[in-house]
Amino acid sequence: MAGKNWYELDNPEEIVSPSLLVYPDRIEKNIELMISMIGDRSRLRPHIKTHKTAEIIEMQMQHGIQKFKCATIAEAELLAQCGAKDILLAMQPVGANLNRFFKLIASYPNSVFSTIVDNEITIGLISKMAASNNITVALFLDLNTGMNRTGIEPNDHAVELFRQIAEDPNLEARGLHAYDGHIRDTDLKLRKQVCDAAYKLVTNLKSKIEAIGIEVKTLVMGGSPSF
**pLDDT tens for residues 68-93?**
999 999 999 999 999 999 999 999 99
Q: Give the C-alpha separation, 57 to 203, whole Å.
A: 30
- The amino acid sitting at 18 is P
Residue 173: is its pLDDT beyond 70? Answer: yes
Q: Give the C-alpha separation, 119 to 116, whole Å.
A: 10
6 inside domain: no
Q: What does the pLDDT average to over 189-210?
A: 96
Q: Which of 167, 184, 166, 185 has its CA nearest to residue 176?
A: 166
User: How many other C-beta atoms lie within 10 A of the C-beta of residue 161?
Assistant: 21
User: Quick check: 101 and 114 in contact, CB under 8 A?
Assistant: no
Q: What does the pLDDT average to over 98-118?
A: 98
- Mean of the per-residue pLDDT values for the chain? 95
9 inside domain: no
Q: What does the pLDDT average to over 109-115?
A: 98
Q: Global pTM?
A: 0.94
**Which element (helix H / strand E) includes 195?**
helix 188-211
- Chain mean position to CA 213: 26
4 inside domain: no
Please give the tally of structural domains in the chain.
1
2 inside domain: no
Domain coverage including residue 61: 41-221
Q: What is the CATH number of the domain that holds 148?
A: 3.20.20.10
